[in-house]
Structure 1
Amino acid sequence: MNDYIASLLALPLMQKLSQLAPEINLRLLPSTNIDATAMLERNEIDLAIGAISATKPRLMTQNLFTDYYLCGMGKNHPLAKGKLTLDKFVRANHLLITLTGEATGFVDRILQEKGLQRRIVMTVNQFAIAPEILAHTDLIAAVNYRSIQHSVFAGDLHLTKLPFEHTPISVNMMWHDRKSQDEAHYWLRQCITTCL
């Protein structure tokens, strides 16, 4: 899982598991350098959690929550006053959060369809550092609402609706069908569900 999901899940899940199953071992792997689908098929991991969907017939998914993107910036940013138009958005300096290291993201694909391009000044590969960067620079970014909501820098940020339509993010839990009837696995899935 990525740091955004880990920041929402790791603490409440560990607190729950330490009370209910103190002998359990929990190992969270970064989603950026593993092939979760292949690892599930080889029975190397029990679950995968992220903006993922089953691509193989024997993989099962359950939606954990839906999040949406907003435009985040420092609370004193000039764009924090008034409505954020598409023109103002495109002319701003941008921070791109890219877990894969790609130089563009979903925002760029949407802008490209409109014949527009933004200036990406900085890219980072973690959600956790974006709020601090936004709070202390002139950069703006498309950010997940829940990742900002839990940030210690939330009070230093201004969030506003993006000036274009976009698809919300579905965060899912995925496992191999061979685990569907496993009682311990079912119990773990239920614990995860109640933590989010």
Structure 2
Amino acid sequence: MQKRSNLYFKYPPNIHELDLATMVNMFRSRGEPQKAAPGEYLACAVTQHLLKEGKWWFGVHYSQKTWDNLLTKGSEGYPLTEAELNVLGRIYISTEDAPHREVIEKSAGVTEKLAYLIVNDLRAFGFIAEDDTGFLRITPRGEKALNGIARRIYEKRFMPEMLNNYEVVEDPTIERAQKKDLDQKSLF
């Protein structure tokens, strides 16, 4: 399905390079107002206007007016991205059997570490509910938020075809170098 708008929050494409502690810190700090140092300015990522104070989002800043415009209907002030659309949408289309948290995290379109944070936040905000065994279901508030972000990006209510635009991002792995067998004498 073709996107109709580009004016919504986005996670940085290389967020998977962050270690967990940095990612958690940045995730928890999103939306906090930041002031420019004396004699310096910030720039709004959308309007490019210079600001003395702006809302922070993973290293970029937004004016308060732009931030408010990026918030979607039904989000209740929560900044929604394509990842949240994917999480809420996958839970929403699973009407018969509630999906398990791990399945949703693996198919969120972001790293599993970030997906874990997203699921926790959506649950804390009341958009999804989780039972004791880790199965998720969407709440009426979550349905409103899902339709809000779907309308922002696609200008339509949520449809399952909107989930096809996401690729699974694997956590990076480090390849171990093979040790060569050398006849090296001990110096001790």
Tell me which interval the TM-score lies in, with the shorter structure as reference length. Answer: under 0.3
Q: Using structure 1 for the length normalisation, give the TM-score.
A: 0.25
More relative contact order, 1 or 2 (CA 8 Å, 6+ apart): 1
Q: Using structure 2 for the length normalisation, give the TM-score.
A: 0.26
